[in-house]
A and B are shown apart, each in its own frame.
Chain A
Amino acid sequence: MDMINLTIDNKPVVVVKGTTILEAAKSIGITVPTLCHMKLDDLGIENKPGGCRICVVEVKGRRNLAPACCTEATDGMEVSTHSIRAINARRTVLELILSDHPSDCLVCAKSGNCELQDLAHRLGIREIHYKGEQSSYRADTSPAIIRELNKCILCRRCEMMCNEVQTVGVLSAINRGFSSVVSPAFEMNLDHSVCTYCGQCVAVCPTGALTEVDHTGAVVRALADPTKTVIVQTAPAVRAALGEEFDMEPGTLVTGKLVAALRRLGFDYVFDTDFSADLTIMEEGTELLNRLKRHLEGDPDVKLPILTSCCPAWVKFFEHQFPDMKDIPSTARSPQQMFGSIAKSYFAGILGIKREDLVVVSIMPCVAKKYECGRDEFAVNNNPDVDFALTTRELAALIKVSNIKFRLLDNEEYDAPLGESTGAGVIFGTTGGVIEAAVRSAYELYTGKELPKIEFEELRGMEGLRKATIDFNGLPINIGIAHGLRNARKLLEDMRAGNSWYHAIEIMSCPGGCIGGGGQPYHHGNVEILKKRQMALYREDSNKAIRKSHENPYIKKLYEEYLGHPMSEKAHHLLHTVYFDRTR
């Protein structure tokens, strides 16, 4: 490996050839400020358009300043990251960016979490010397994402996420010069585009230009309405991340505090989406086994592989991009929607109230869930199965506004009957988790034998595309796993071309799965946070007494009392769905 010697701020440093000045500086504890740059190492995601020019440094002998994030260190280079020239340019550029940015920090959704605000603080900007016209764009609201482009600083992270990581291709820079802005083509609204609402643009936006649609007000009003029974479900990935909003270490599990906080907020019943995750496994697992059985019997019409359908962004993605393959995914609804459907039928029945008087709120790591719960097929007489989906971030805001000292809360337990779950339901929140949960049950149901080992290490990890073969008692089952829609696209295109053959594929839209969802606390480009959240979910799983969905006693009870058996007509009606060709 070629090594390079250089000095940064007079300190000698030795780095591998190909290292950028930014990384070289970091290796000796010098943090050059950046704005547009973002790197998620293990996920292979990097945004460095070299556009913001905040990271400019002075390199001896060079005509102009060098952006540290994209300039390679070379042998003998002498870099100053804090010469007067570099600092003056950096501050001036930041002033310029601020001169074209609304100064409504006090009421901005990103206040306190804004990288631009942090930078202005760090560089000590007290005055903007160059004032002038500010950009003005039409705001755009969709079912899940709000675009407030006056706050866009053209870091292009969202564009990189949308195009390179997700291959959705909705966002790109349009117009020229001062009018440049990131937008769907022809400045169409997001809800007219092929946007999947995965929310990865929101997850990486350094400012308040992209945020989720805020439903906290509606939830507060429902909670205050004495005629309504308000219940809540919490998605698996929320418990592994919510603590971060309260300055807890990333990866801290806050399940008990989460339940306690929700009770304090006034929810009548606190339930768990993990429960309906188990239910999903029952339906989807059964569907897989049925298809497998028919396949083994030689049925040429059977569709294999089966694709998971828990992720609403993924569902919208294939409806737009692969409508020819829309009969391959499982017809099982997502856990959020299964929960809503069961709550407003089975549970409303138990309470003896009308579905209209029951309000179902979900806490999700996701912004696409806001869109999913509004899909027409998930409503009965215009009454949605799930009324409101809040992101992890919105819940944190609600807890803060309600004067609840989250860190001091004692752990509490979920309510019955929709609060009981297994370890299999918990790992739904990470890439590889849904398929592992499915395999745990399918193996036992197919072979009739108990699993020799409950963890499937071969299905775990952060690789964007993973393949594994599981031995079902002599029958090799090929499993594919993709997270990030680019990887999903690759898998589908491979399949369409006949290059690979799987029995089952798990797809999650967000890098890392739901733990990296668009509604989670902002990771600010730190991939370690995602890994810690993943480990937390596996920890929660291993701590659970029951770790297979089909062993969840309340699931068994639900089938006995209400649904009959998986894939029954009632189950079909309540727990399955259809997909649409959205290419028009």
Chain B
Amino acid sequence: MSEYNFQILVCGGTGCKASESEEIRSSFVNLLNEYGLEEEVQVVLTDCFGFCEKGPIVKMMPDKTVYVRVKPSDADEIIKEHIVKGNQVERLLYRDPVTGTVVRDRQHMEFYKKQIRIALRNCGFINPEEIDEYIAHDGYMALGTCLTEMKPMEVIEQIKKSGLRGRGGGGFPTGLKWEITAKVPGDQKYVVCNVDEGDPGAFMDRSILEGDPHTVIEAMIINGYCTGASKGLVYIRAEYPLAISRLKIALAQARAYGLLGDDILGSGFNFDIEIRYGAGAFVCGEETALIHSMEGCRGEPTFKPPFPSVSGYLGKPTNVNNVETYANIPVIINKGADWFASIGTEKSKGTKVFALAGKINNVGLIEVPLGTTLREVIYDIGGGIRGGKKFKAVQTGGPSGGMLTAEFLDTPIDYDNLLAAGSMMGSGGMIVMDEDDCMVAIAKFYLGFTVEESCGKCAPCRIGNKRLHEILERITDGKGEIQDLDRLFMLSNVIKDASLCGLGQTSPNPVLSSLKYFRQEYEAHVKASHCPAGQCKALVRYEVIEDKCTGCTLCFRNCPVGAITGEKREVHFIDQSLCIKCGVCFEKCKFGAILVS
């Protein structure tokens, strides 16, 4: 069908764009025109290949040769050698850094695929509203294996062996959790799927439910079989209408096939699932709070022990796992615990889904083996920092996590490393910050979230976080004093030490880590009333640089509050008492005549 014999794919990902991919493309196009090959060869700009470190990347089709670190000047050689003569350009091929051998095509370029999709395996591949498509992709096979070939304890053994840990934040070993629930005696037990995803910027659970609801259903049935529960509950925030509607369709289809209900697959095992709606309180992600919310009580945590595995929903043994944890289960059964355990690090097995956000080029949902470094995630998958800016920090674990600086870029991501670095895995939000971000303001943002989302039950979290936020507000308003830094530190530690649940015990992490790694920014705010990133409005001044102002009146005309005065072709002036620091003058000025200080 194609009229072209060759296609040249030039990586146009924003990471590569910064390194001249546009120029590379035009050199190809120009040269092809020159050589009269434009009818035979098509040049196409693609998105990021996910190997920005070696970018720009050029891929030759149909033979799939990949060239790395291509410069515009290389276009000529590639056309002459590869297209005309059919020879690969050796010097542009990728060499394995360990063995030094040349890697010739994409099929062998393992490095180039940093991601492995286990939990997301079906997302974006199958129609989530068709159970048949799920079945075509091994759906419910794991359930079949468990129900007909394995005893509950054997399944639990496999989950334990796989090394799977809870993907919701704490990282508790999943198999062990199942085992505890299984061993507690009880006439009625429950398994609960936690879909109270609430970290700012995290949406992996929603995506999985929207893209592959049956995997969660299948895993919950297996969970029920293992623990002796006949009832499953999905606690989902009402803000997820599409996930809810897909889940409902999936439940109905599973029931129609008899995969939910009595005597599943002729095994004699009965199980069904109900949906419970949450109002989207962040704290209801904490399992005891979640259970209270499902019981119709105020969504607030209670002291553990007793753990839900012993006394949970309605006082019955209850196993709570989140969506992503469940999404791994069928694969572990189908591909084997050993297979799963071969991925990841010693203590953190398998993959983790992250929602990449912030000042990064390829904002999106990724799934990488645990042990992947932050650098690989941010640069190779995320395509680097937007606008070619400098990386400053990355926040993992949402409001409960800490900020990790450049020194941690090569730290392999796993539960223990993140904790040791003062952050945590959390549910997988990953927010990247660049040089323009003020760390004090970021800490304030997260504290603001915690203050909003604290349930208010225990005093350190209810009042302490409020006070922390007030101190941070003071600092970003330029009203802080140096003693405030000590107050932040001491109060943060007490809140961590004395709070009732995980929310309060981790909420000061953004403050503590930013204080640790960016103390000079705090000091600049309180000592010099200066926000180094220029983000704290109260500390920013916009002024006209007289030498540069041409009197074009653009700033004057765009200022929303009339703070700028000046005649045509004369130097303009910003009245500081009226200025609201919106920055419009700075953006509009074509002559760089607005000074931000």
A residues at B contact (CB < 8 Å): 48-54, 56, 64-65, 67, 70-72, 85, 88-89, 92-93, 96-97, 99-100, 129-133, 153-154, 156, 172-180
Residues of B within 8 A of A64 (CB): 496-499, 505
Q: Is B303 located at the chain interface by the 8 A CB criterion?
A: yes
Bound CA span A100–B462, Å: 10
User: Across the interface, do A133 and B466 meet the contact criterion of CB distance under 8 Å?
Assistant: yes
User: Across the interface, do B457 and A96 meet the contact criterion of CB distance under 8 Å?
Assistant: no
User: Across the interface, do B466 and A178 meet the contact criterion of CB distance under 8 Å?
Assistant: yes
CB distance from A91 to the nearest CB of B (A): 9
User: Across the interface, do B453 and A177 meet the contact criterion of CB distance under 8 Å?
Assistant: yes
Residues of A within 8 A of B451 (CB): 177-178
User: Across the interface, do B459 and A51 meet the contact criterion of CB distance under 8 Å?
Assistant: yes
Bound CA span A85–B500, Å: 17
Bound CA span A72–B500, Å: 15
Complex A-B: 19 CB contacts under 8 Å: A51-B459, A52-B458, A53-B459, A53-B499, A64-B498, A64-B505, A65-B498, A67-B500, A71-B303, A89-B460, A92-B490, A92-B491, A92-B498, A93-B464, A96-B459, A96-B464, A130-B471, A133-B470, A179-B456
User: Across the interface, do B300 and A67 meet the contact criterion of CB distance under 8 Å?
Assistant: no
Residue of chain A at shortest CB distance from B490: A92
User: Across the interface, do B455 and A50 meet the contact criterion of CB distance under 8 Å?
Assistant: no
Interchain CB contact (< 8 A) of B456 among A129, A132, A154, A172 = A154
User: Across the interface, do B454 and A177 meet the contact criterion of CB distance under 8 Å?
Assistant: yes
Using A64-B505, A97-B463, A132-B470 as known contacts, say yes or no to A175 and B458 having CB atoms under 8 A apart: no
Residues of B within 8 A of A153 (CB): 459
Greatest chain B CB density within 10 A among A48, A85, A177 is at: A177
User: Across the interface, do A50 and B500 meet the contact criterion of CB distance under 8 Å?
Assistant: yes
User: Across the interface, do A99 and B467 meet the contact criterion of CB distance under 8 Å?
Assistant: yes
Residues of A within 8 A of B496 (CB): 64
Q: Is B193 located at the chain interface by the 8 A CB criterion?
A: no
Q: A49-B302, A64-B505, A172-B298 are in contact. List 7 more A-B contacts (CB 8 A).
A: A53-B500, A64-B498, A89-B460, A96-B464, A176-B454, A177-B454, A177-B465
Q: Is B494 located at the chain interface by the 8 A CB criterion?
A: yes
Within 8 A of A (CB), among B459-501: 459-460, 462-467, 470-471, 487, 490-491, 494, 496-500
User: Across the interface, do A180 and B457 meet the contact criterion of CB distance under 8 Å?
Assistant: yes
Using A154-B459, A175-B456, A178-B466 as known contacts, say yes or no to A93 and B298 having CB atoms under 8 A apart: no
Bound CA span A529–B465, Å: 39
Bound CA span A179–B462, Å: 9
User: Across the interface, do A154 and B305 meet the contact criterion of CB distance under 8 Å?
Assistant: no
Bound CA span A64–B281, Å: 25
Closest 4 CB pairs of A and B: A180-B456, A177-B454, A96-B463, A132-B470
Bound CA span A130–B469, Å: 11
Q: Is B452 located at the chain interface by the 8 A CB criterion?
A: yes
Residues of A within 8 A of B471 (CB): 130
Bound CA span A88–B493, Å: 10
Bound CA span A85–B464, Å: 17
Using A88-B494, A92-B491 as known contacts, say yes or no to A52 and B453 having CB atoms under 8 A apart: no
Residues of B within 8 A of A48 (CB): 303
Bound CA span A88–B495, Å: 11
Residues of B within 8 A of A172 (CB): 298
CB distance from B484 to the nearest CB of A (A): 10
Residues of A within 8 A of B499 (CB): 53, 64
User: Across the interface, do B458 and A53 meet the contact criterion of CB distance under 8 Å?
Assistant: yes
Residues of B within 8 A of A89 (CB): 460, 494, 497-498
User: Across the interface, do B467 and A176 meet the contact criterion of CB distance under 8 Å?
Assistant: no
User: Across the interface, do A178 and B463 meet the contact criterion of CB distance under 8 Å?
Assistant: yes
Using A88-B494, A93-B498 as known contacts, say yes or no to A50 and B302 having CB atoms under 8 A apart: yes
User: Across the interface, do A51 and B500 meet the contact criterion of CB distance under 8 Å?
Assistant: yes
Interface size on B, residues (CB 8 A): 34
Bound CA span A53–B460, Å: 7
Chief secondary structure at chain A's binding surface:
loop
Bound CA span A130–B465, Å: 11
Residues of B within 8 A of A99 (CB): 463, 467
CB distance from A54 to the nearest CB of B (A): 8
Bound CA span A96–B504, Å: 14
Interchain CB contact (< 8 A) of A130 among B454, B487, B500 = B487
Residue of chain B at shortest CB distance from A90: B498
Bound CA span A129–B494, Å: 13
CB distance from B444 to the nearest CB of A (A): 14
CB distance from A115 to the nearest CB of B (A): 14
CB distance from B488 to the nearest CB of A (A): 10
Bound CA span A176–B301, Å: 13
Bound CA span A71–B300, Å: 18
Residues of B within 8 A of A72 (CB): 305
User: Across the interface, do A178 and B454 meet the contact criterion of CB distance under 8 Å?
Assistant: yes
CB distance from B466 to the nearest CB of A (A): 5
Bound CA span A65–B493, Å: 11
Interchain CB contact (< 8 A) of A92 among B300, B302, B462, B494 = B494
CB distance from B197 to the nearest CB of A (A): 18
CB distance from B198 to the nearest CB of A (A): 13
Bound CA span A295–B497, Å: 66
User: Across the interface, do A56 and B498 meet the contact criterion of CB distance under 8 Å?
Assistant: yes
Bound CA span A132–B491, Å: 14
Residues of A within 8 A of B302 (CB): 49-50
Residues of A within 8 A of B500 (CB): 50-51, 53, 67
User: Across the interface, do B467 and A132 meet the contact criterion of CB distance under 8 Å?
Assistant: yes
Bound CA span A96–B466, Å: 10
Using A132-B470, A173-B300 as known contacts, say yes or no to A178 and B305 having CB atoms under 8 A apart: no
CB distance from A142 to the nearest CB of B (A): 23
CB distance from A90 to the nearest CB of B (A): 8
CB distance from B504 to the nearest CB of A (A): 9
Bound CA span A179–B452, Å: 9
Bound CA span A88–B458, Å: 17
CB distance from B391 to the nearest CB of A (A): 31
User: Across the interface, do B458 and A173 meet the contact criterion of CB distance under 8 Å?
Assistant: no
Residues of B within 8 A of A175 (CB): 456
Residues of A within 8 A of B490 (CB): 92
Interchain CB contact (< 8 A) of A132 among B303, B453, B466 = B466
Residue of chain A at shortest CB distance from B300: A173
Residue of chain A at shortest CB distance from B466: A178
Bound CA span A180–B453, Å: 11
Residues of A within 8 A of B303 (CB): 48, 50, 67, 70-71
CB distance from A187 to the nearest CB of B (A): 15
Residue of chain B at shortest CB distance from A175: B456
Bound CA span A154–B455, Å: 12
Interchain CB contact (< 8 A) of A129 among B452, B458, B487 = B487
Residue of chain B at shortest CB distance from A177: B454
Greatest chain A CB density within 10 A among B458, B470, B497, B500 is at: B497
User: Across the interface, do A173 and B298 meet the contact criterion of CB distance under 8 Å?
Assistant: yes
Encode contact with A along B417-458: 1 for CB under 8 Å, 0 otherwise.
000000000000000000000000000000000011111111
Residues of B within 8 A of A174 (CB): 298
Bound CA span A20–B329, Å: 38
User: Across the interface, do A51 and B457 meet the contact criterion of CB distance under 8 Å?
Assistant: yes
CB distance from B355 to the nearest CB of A (A): 24
Residues of B within 8 A of A132 (CB): 466-467, 470
Interchain CB contact (< 8 A) of A176 among B452, B458, B459, B494 = B452
Residue of chain B at shortest CB distance from A58: B497
Bound CA span A132–B464, Å: 10
User: Across the interface, do B298 and A177 meet the contact criterion of CB distance under 8 Å?
Assistant: no
Using A50-B500, A51-B500 as known contacts, say yes or no to A154 and B462 having CB atoms under 8 A apart: yes
User: Across the interface, do B467 and A130 meet the contact criterion of CB distance under 8 Å?
Assistant: yes
Bound CA span A177–B456, Å: 4
Residue of chain A at shortest CB distance from B450: A177
Encode contact with A along B521-564: 1 for CB under 8 Å, 0 otherwise.
00000000000000000000000000000000000000000000
Bound CA span A174–B456, Å: 9
Residues of A within 8 A of B464 (CB): 92-93, 96, 130
Bound CA span A172–B498, Å: 24
Residue of chain B at shortest CB distance from A71: B303
Residues of B within 8 A of A173 (CB): 298, 300, 456-457
Residues of B within 8 A of A65 (CB): 497-498
